[in-house]
Amino acid sequence: MRLFFAIIIALSSAFTFTGGAEFFIKSKNHDFTDTNEGVVLEHDYHFTNTGTAPLIISDYKVACTCTKITFPKNPIAPKQSGTIHLSFDTQGKYGYQNRKIEIISNAKKSVFLSFRVFVVRENTP
């Protein structure tokens, strides 16, 4: 009986590794030019599902609410493309900003996007 369960678990693991959704993002990192504090920066990350199952993005994780992401709410079929839109509010931020975004999805591997910008502090009287 134990052998039976071991075989089932091994086969399930094998099928998990051979199929599934998969992100292909040509550029996961973006560098903005130096920017004045108070500007809202935006960038689009274009991706393709190179896997064999629909790609479902369910959420994202960021360090602060100054970074927001919008993403497709519907599954992305294999070989189809989509866009993840970044918005970063520089208000109250200054100096070198190096931010990471974790994309939560059903993809085989975790996906992290990043961006960098130097924010020039607003002159205060």
| pLDDT, tens digit (0-9, with 9 covering 90-100), for 17-48 | 557 999 999 999 999 999 999 999 999 999 99
Q: How confident is the model at residue 124 (pLDDT cuts 50, 70, 90)?
A: low
Q: Does the pLDDT at position 14 exceed 50?
A: no
Measured CA to CA, the distance from residue 56 to residue 104 in angstroms comes to 9
Q: How confident is the model at residue 11 (pLDDT cuts 50, 70, 90)?
A: very low
Tell me how many domains the chain contains.
Answer: 1
Residue 64 lies in a domain: yes
Amino acid sitting at position 12:
S
| pLDDT, tens digit (0-9, with 9 covering 90-100), for 82-117 | 999 999 999 999 999 999 999 999 999 999 999 999
Residue 6 lies in a domain: no
Measured CA to CA, the distance from residue 98 to residue 23 in angstroms comes to 22
Residue 11 lies in a domain: no
**Is the distance from CB of 113 to CB of 101 less than 8 angstroms?**
yes
Residue 85 lies in a domain: yes
Measured CA to CA, the distance from residue 105 to residue 57 in angstroms comes to 4
Global pTM?
Answer: 0.81
CATH number, residue 82: 2.60.40.10
Q: Residue 68: give the domain boundaries.
A: 21-120
- Looking only at Cα atoms, what is the longest distance across the chain? 78
Residue 4 lies in a domain: no
